[in-house]
Amino acid sequence: MELGVIGLGRMGRIVVDRVLEAGHEAVVFDIDEESVADAADAGARPAASIVDLAEKLGPEKRIWLMVPAGDPVDAALDELAPVLDSDDIVVDGGNSYFEDSVRRAESTDAAYLDCGTSGGPAGAELGFSLMVGGPQWAYDELVPVFDAVATGPDGHDRMGPAGSGHYVKMVHNGVEYALMQTYGEGFELLANGRYDLDLESVANTWNNGAVIRSWLLELCEEAFREEGNDLGDVADRVEGGSTGTWTVQEALEQEVPVPLIYQSLAERFGSRADDGRFSRRLASRLRYGFGRHDVPRRE
């Protein structure tokens, strides 16, 4: 099969490499010319624009978008719109908001597959986990490509109709936030607790047979090995947050309690105060107000 891939960053390039490795062909485009040249060196056919990519694909186009969520997806679809028809298939493999995916599926002439992608750049060799939403026929048609990009036939499935792939990925990310938070809390207690512990060794021991072993825990082990037991100069600031926010918003709308996911998101937001947390500073001052307790002051 020949796949058009638009967006050749950390994730899109892996899609290209894996489909090529599996014996398919790829036509590629990115607004960054160097990325296109690199992918061409690896065996893909370079395109000079999105329209050029579509023309090179001929009839029954199969196109995978791997651009940042939001406007870049709409921009790519706008450019593709004049050349797409109902025999064509577009996959959005990014972290798009599921309601955007429903809107896009309704407004494009092609069959639209919203594909939640998990595994990250570090999962390149193993392959990704793919959560796909959209028409069954389009999913079935692209199974050879999904087999190649995912860990294999078990690494992908159709979740349901339009939007369901990105919906499942959104919730996956909420779970990811909470898992990261709970590992963080456990290691924070160990780092500040009664024993002088080697945290890399703890993580390694847990990763060998413990109930809480996982890939994120392997990444904890890697972080302690590479940054040191105290995480060296890694700042107390966590970026990201959009997918976790959507998860919490959806949970509120559905009246489903997700306190751990919410708390993990709130911890991220809290980490971004440049000047210390206002709420903690006020709490400290209030302890003086009611109890005349000492107020630690800034240097």
Ligand X SMILES: O=C(CO)[C@H](O)[C@H](O)COP(=O)(O)O
Ligand Y SMILES: NC(=O)C1=CN([C@@H]2O[C@H](COP(=O)(O)OP(=O)(O)OC[C@H]3O[C@@H](n4cnc5c(N)ncnc54)[C@H](O)[C@@H]3O)[C@@H](O)[C@H]2O)C=CC1
**Residue ranges of the binding site for NAD(+):** 7-12, 67-69, 95
DSSP 182: H
| CA dihedral of residues 73, 77, 78, 80 (deg, nearest 10) | 140
Which contiguous run of DSSP H or E holds residue 89? strand 89-92
Q: What, of ligand X, ligand Y, none, does residue 240 touch, CB below 5 to 8 Å by kind?
A: ligand X
Tell me: does residue 247 bind ligand X (CB under 6 A).
Answer: no
Task: List all residues 6 or more positions away from 160 whose beta carbon is below 8 Å from its beta carbon.
Answer: 133
Residue 241 interface partner, choices ligand Y, ligand X, none, CB cut-off 5-8 Å depending on type: ligand X
Q: Indicate which of ligand X, ligand Y, none lies near residue 6 (CB less than 5 to 8 Å, by partner kind).
A: ligand Y
Tell whether residue 68 is a contact of ligand Y (CB under 6 A).
yes
Q: How far apart are CA 147 and CA 16, in angstroms?
A: 13
* Catalytic residue of the set 61, 169, 221, 250: 169
Q: In whole angstroms, how far apart are CA 22 and each of 2, 56, 196?
A: 11, 20, 49
Minimum CB separation from ligand X for residue 65, in Å? Answer: 15
- Closer to ligand Y by CB, 75 or 286: give it: 75
Please answer whether residues 183 and 217 qualify as being in contact, where contact means their C-beta atoms are separated by less than 8 angstroms. Answer: yes
Tokens at 277, concatenated: 């947390």
Nearest to ligand Y by Cβ — which residue?
9
- Asked whether position 245 contacts ligand Y by CB under 6 A, the answer is no
For the window 4-43, what string marks contact with ligand Y as x by the rule CB under 6 A?
Answer: --xxxxxxx----------------xxxx--x--------
Query: Residue 61 catalytic?
Result: no
Task: Verify binding: residue 120, ligand X, rule CB under 6 A.
Answer: yes
Annotated binding site for substrate: 95, 118-120, 172-173, 177, 268
Task: List binders of ligand X among 80-119 (CB under 6 A).
Answer: 95, 118
Q: Is 171 exposed, middle or buried (0-12, 13-18, 19+ CB in 10 A)?
A: buried
Q: Which is nearer to ligand X, 102 or 261 (CB)?
A: 261
Quick one: which segment of 27-35, 191-199, 201-209, 242-250 binds ligand X (CB under 6 A)?
Answer: 242-250
Binding-site positions read: 7-12, 67-69, 95, 118-120, 172-173, 177, 268
CA distance 171 to 254: 13
Q: Which residues pair with 62 in a beta bridge?
A: 89
Name the active-site residue from 2, 21, 176, 239: 176
Query: Considering only residues 111-170, where is the footprint of ligand Y by CB under 6 A?
Result: 117, 120-121
Active site residue 106: no
Closest residue by Cα to residue 110 from 61, 76, 54: 61
| Separation CA 241–CA 28 (nearest Å) | 29
Rounded to a whole number of angstroms, the minimum distance from the CB of residue 91 to ligand Y is: 12
Other Cβ atoms closer than 10 A to 184: 14
Residue 243 binds to ligand X (criterion: CB under 6 A): yes
Among 176, 200, 221, 250, binds ligand X (CB under 6 A): 176
Using the contact rule CB under 6 A, the part of the chain among 159-167, 217-225, 240-248, 250-258 near ligand X is: 240-248
Residues in the chain: 299
Q: How far apart are CA 240 and CA 89, in angstroms?
A: 30
Closer of 182 and 204 to ligand X (Cβ): 182
Q: Are strands 129-133 and 111-118 parallel, antiparallel or unpaired?
A: antiparallel
**Nearest alpha-carbon partner for 14 in 135, 124, 176:** 124
- The residues annotated as belonging to the active site are 169, 176
Residues that bind ligand X (CB under 6 A): 95, 118, 120, 173, 176, 240-244
